[in-house]
C-alpha cells in the first residue's frame, strides 16, 4: 500500500518562499515518477510540477521559473521549492505518484495519471 505524506505548508507574504516535502512509503524507488498537484476551492485540481524516474522535470507554465521539484537523497522523498510566491499560488498542495512510467519530456501528465495522492498541505500567500 503506497502512502504519501506532505509537510511544509503554511502562510507567507507575496514574494516569499516555502519548501514542501513528501515522504512516500510502499513505493518502489526504481520507478519513482512523482509530482505535485494543487487545488483551489471551486476549481479543478491541476498538476504544477513533475519529475520522472530519470530525474527529468516539467512544470506548469504558471510556476515555471519559480518552483523547483526534486528528489531527496533519502529514499522516497520529494520536495517542491516554491519561490517568488504570489497570492494566486494559494491552494492545497498534494504529493502524487504515478503507477508506472511517464516521461517528463512531453506534456505534463494529467491529474488522472497520478494513481496515488497524499492528503494535502495548505499554502496561503497574502498580498
* pLDDT, tens only, 34-90: 999 999 989 999 999 999 989 999 999 999 999 999 998 776 899 999 999 999 999
Number of helices (H), then strands (E), belonging to the chain: the values are: 0, 11
pLDDT in tens, 1-28: 889 999 999 999 999 999 999 999 887 6
Name which residue leads in pLDDT, 1 or 119.
119
H-helix or E-strand spanning residue 93: strand 91-98
Compute the half-sphere exposure of residue 48: CA atoms within 13 Å on the CB side of its CA. Answer: 29
Q: What is the mean pLDDT of residues 28-37?
A: 80
CA 81 to chain centre: 9
Compute the half-sphere exposure of residue 49: CA atoms within 13 Å on the CB side of its CA. Answer: 21
| φ/ψ (deg, to 5) at 56 | -80, 145
CB-CB contact of 27 with 76 (8 Å): yes
Residue 30 has pLDDT above 60, yes or no: no
Residue 75's pLDDT is: 65
CB-CB contact of 97 with 75 (8 Å): no
Amino acid at each position: 500500500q503506497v502512502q504519501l505524506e506532505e509537510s511544509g505548508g503554511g502562510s507567507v507574504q507575496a514574494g516569499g518562499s516555502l519548501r514542501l516535502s513528501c515522504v512516500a512509503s510502499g513505493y518502489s524507488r526504481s520507478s519513482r515518477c512523482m509530482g505535485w498537484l494543487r487545488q483551489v476551492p471551486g476549481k479543478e485540481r491541476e498538476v504544477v510540477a513533475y519529475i520522472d524516474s530519470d530525474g527529468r522535470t516539467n512544470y506548469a507554465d504558471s510556476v515555471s521559473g519559480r518552483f523547483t521539484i526534486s528528489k531527496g537523497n533519502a529514499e522516497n522523498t520529494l520536495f517542491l521549492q516554491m519561490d517568488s510566491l504570489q497570492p494566486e499560488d494559494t491552494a492545497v498542495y498534494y504529493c502524487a505518484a504515478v503507477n508506472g512510467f511517464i516521461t517528463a519530456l512531453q506534456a505534463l501528465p494529467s491529474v488522472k495519471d497520478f494513481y496515488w495522492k497524499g492528503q494535502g498541505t495548505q499554502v496561503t500567500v497574502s498580498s
